[in-house]
Amino acid sequence: MNWITSLPIANREIPWIIFAASVATLGSALIFEHVGGLDPCSLCLQQRMPYWLLIPAAALAGILGRETNLGLAPVLLIALCALAAAANVGLAGYHAGVEYKWWQGPQGCTGNALVAGSLAELQQQLDGVKIPRCDETPWSLFGLSMAGFNFLISLGLLGLASLALLRFWTETGADDDDNA
């Protein structure tokens, strides 16, 4: 596993890269929503949740892991980042598949799921804001939707977190079965 240690990214930099990429991704989504006027669908909102976990976990791992070799607390926080990124890979991949019509999305997100207790409530819902559908792509670049970009970003974050975890595993000698 020498290639793991030979990569030009230091262990102490990985949490900060995860932090910066997470802030940039979540910030971009918020800018698209509040400045660009692209209202998020329910799957878009679900994809933001892992970033609310990634940002503080990566920042805390960066603060605690100032040495070249990360300690146990930063490694556990990076493992939490890996889990959050993996969850987001699944969410974003599912959403991209819904947008590209590879499979059906959730009922309330791909159709008009109006729920009202009275006729007045129904009229108010009908007059209200148009709910964005999960199976429509409001924005794309090079044929890739925002969910597609989020899939790739989350996959990269998962790779970075996994790199730090693999390095910790190899540097602590946990993979040496020869010495037993």
Instruction: Supply the DSSP string of 79-120, one letter for each residue.
Output: HHHHHHHHHHHHHHHHHHHHHTTSS---HHHHS-----SSHH
Q: Is residue 127 part of a domain?
A: yes
**DSSP single-letter state for residue 11:** G
Instruction: Count up the domains in the chain and report the number.
Output: 1
Which residue, chain included where needed, has tokens 């989350």? 154
For residue 103, is pLDDT > 80? yes
Residue 180 maps to a domain = no
- Could you list the residue range(s) of the whole structural domain that residue 139 is in? 2-106+114-171
CATH number, domain of 60, equals: 1.20.1550.10
pTM of the model: 0.78
The per-residue pLDDT for range 23-73, each reduced to its tens digit, is 999 999 999 999 998 888 889 999 999 999 999 999 999 988 876 566 788
Q: Does the residue 26 lie in any domain?
A: yes
Domain assignment of residue 65, yes or no? yes
Residue 53 lies in a domain: yes
Q: What is the mean pLDDT of residues 7-29?
A: 89
pLDDT surpassing 50 at residue 180: no
**Could you tell me if residue 177 is inside a domain?**
no
Comparing CA positions, the residue from 61, 62, 28, 34 lying closest to residue 47 is 28
Residue 77 lies in a domain: yes
176 within some domain: no
